[in-house]
Chains A and B, each alone.
Chain A
């Protein structure tokens, strides 16, 4: 009897809790899909919010609100004053940072956002080449909703491995973990109506220290990720190939179905020395020079040339990162996991990484040349 009474008491007390749950009915909420964060003049933050306000009677569903505040939460609160629906960030997909905002460093890239349980860990982060508000203010006929357009743009290219993945979770992890630094894709306004990727931003802690081009980011992906079915044009610098086109003074090989795997090993613990072995295979589709693809000899020649040019590019990328003291490859994590009691700190690794020796071995093989042989 007592048990039963207890049960009913519980049940009813749970029903009494109903008042405590705060309903956020879909049509009463203004959905923030994108945040743009820039540095304002007086040290405050200039926030640009893309709000999705769905109304079948309205011609446009997207509202862009700009406010200034000293905190990221403050931006939302201030923007609320301009919105007819209560703003909520549960549908946040993309956060775009202005270049200046990240250059100053120590901004706490996105910590405050992770305190909000409704913000997804899979929100994409990106940096604008210039102010973020310019990207969000792009108006074009083919872009009815800039928030969704940006999300689809980043999502599609991340999944296709054109740019490295930079979700909130990944960036924060790389930021806090010792021995790896965060990266973000760079978005650039192209002309009046276009937005595209211009490269990848490199960070040291939370401070922007360098940029690499999209061409280089391909090699970055080769090291830190796996390719499955990618496409890439690779420049070959070799005197053995004669260009087909006289005006083009270089040879380009087009490879598709690119499969890659990489393996990083620490070979010297005292003076950090790493071996990066990259295995790569693909289908050779096109070579812009007069060469007989049916000849196994010439295929070998191409393989050799591509291997050489790739090795060079990767070495160049690593050297650049070393000068900027940013270990985006996560070599420090490998060092930390292979050396016992290393007591590695960020500061310690910055200087160690700069001095580290990295040997790059690329193994490229042509699977076949085209589908019809």
Chain B
């Protein structure tokens, strides 16, 4: 209800009259101050002899530029029209406006409002102060082979990075705004002629329809854009690598950048793609295939191994190999809890350690490793708290979840273990199968920007299997995946492609 009121009041006629640039300098000054709640950082510089005044927000503009590029060239000259002022300014981004609303918004974006008494328009010269860091190494998705650059918090830098990879005139950048109060700049980036127009349209619509007061980061926007906000699985990829974004754009995907966020949203995204790394394309296909299979095995190990232990020890002692019987029983003999309690306890300790390690400063974090190693590794077994076979299983599961290249997906894998362990402890293999079927059905029902989540396995698109759980040589995969419904299906001419192979 609140939003409706806010937006409907805007369109009234009364408001439109208010939107005009005031005629006198005093009125302008008062209006500007009123609109910005008489903020302490408002700057008002009167310069020259023709009654020219500069209005700006001091904390958002570059003061050196203000003096060098605006005040200096204008201060001694008489002006009577906006056109003449413009001729004397050497600023790249300059705009003219007759709306007060727009002028204030521009001021919030780092513009100086150049006001000349008697004119119904103002000049908006953009000289934003550069707050931020320079391009640095990718921390969360680091590669051994491949470029090391990562996005920064500045949307302009980020788009520059992508433009550097794709030097093509059909790279489209659409600017939108999101957040009723934060007015964040959101850019949709795609390659015209490759990306599906329908998808671009639906993504644009979704961003425009978001009704929230503030978006601070793209990870927040991702949650708002996803089709099913109740699922635990991420439906869009978040990446900090410009090469990754460029690679996906070339496949026909769309990227969304949010100003102030160092992560780009890429969609549509399939479940399989969360287990692919940029490095897969940078190494030989045999090695890449091996890595992908490894990650997939790790996924199953991580999700099912502990549950398998609990189920077979609680209900299905028949399936334990004879050679394992001795070691298993001997290590279990001292443990006072049933397997499910033992497993949940150890998984809980593991999660505690991980969470502590993630939140602590790096220097303290190192001691966490030692504490964890001693507590879990030896003391727990010596005290008869857990069996040492379970420790191997739990650490394998934890390792398996960290192998996943996507951090968001790694978190999911760690969490879905818990219900499976409980089901295994309650109903044995039957419970595990119940959990597995539930997960599978759930995954089948998900979609990412209208594309099936389990593509290319369901619905089966055999041509896309070449770059899914395995990766065949680049010359084999000249077709863009069906997932993106690309306008241009082929990366290069299929007839020439045959000659390549």
Contact = CB atoms under 8 A, between A and B. Distances in A.
Interface of A: 14-15, 17-18, 21-27, 29, 31, 52, 54-56, 61, 88, 90-91, 93, 118, 120, 148, 151
Contacts of B333: 27, 54-56
B320 interface: yes
Nearest to A11: B438
Contacts of A26: 313, 317, 320, 328-329, 332, 339
Contacts of B427: 14, 17-18, 21
B332 A21 contact: no
A332 B94 CA distance: 100
Interface of B: 313-318, 320, 322, 325-326, 328-330, 332-334, 338-339, 426-428, 430, 434
Contacts of A25: 313-314, 338-339
A26 B434 CA distance: 23
Given A23-B338, A56-B334, A91 B325 contact: yes
Q: Which of B322, B332, B339 has the most CB of A within 10 A?
A: B322
B334 to A, nearest CB: 7
A5 to B, nearest CB: 16
B317 A61 contact: no
Nearest to B313: A26
A21 B329 contact: no
Contacts, number: 60
A88 B329 contact: no
Nearest to A33: B322
Given A17-B427, A54-B333, A24 B325 contact: no
Contacts of A27: 329, 332-333
Contacts of B334: 56
Of A17, A18, A23, A27, chain B has the most CB atoms within 10 Å of the CB of: A27
A153 to B, nearest CB: 14
A182 to B, nearest CB: 24
B388 to A, nearest CB: 12
A54 B325 CA distance: 9
B500 to A, nearest CB: 45
A29 B315 CA distance: 11
A21 B428 contact: yes
Which of B316, B318, B330, B333 has the most A CB atoms < 10 Å from its CB?
A: B318
A3 to B, nearest CB: 12
B317 A24 contact: yes
Contacts of A17: 427
Nearest to B323: A148
A25 B310 CA distance: 9
Contact of A24 (B315, B322, B332): B315
Query: 5 nearest interchain CB pairs?
Result: A90-B318, A54-B329, A18-B426, A27-B332, A56-B330
A93 B326 CA distance: 15
Contact of A148 (B315, B317, B322, B332): B322
A54 B426 contact: no
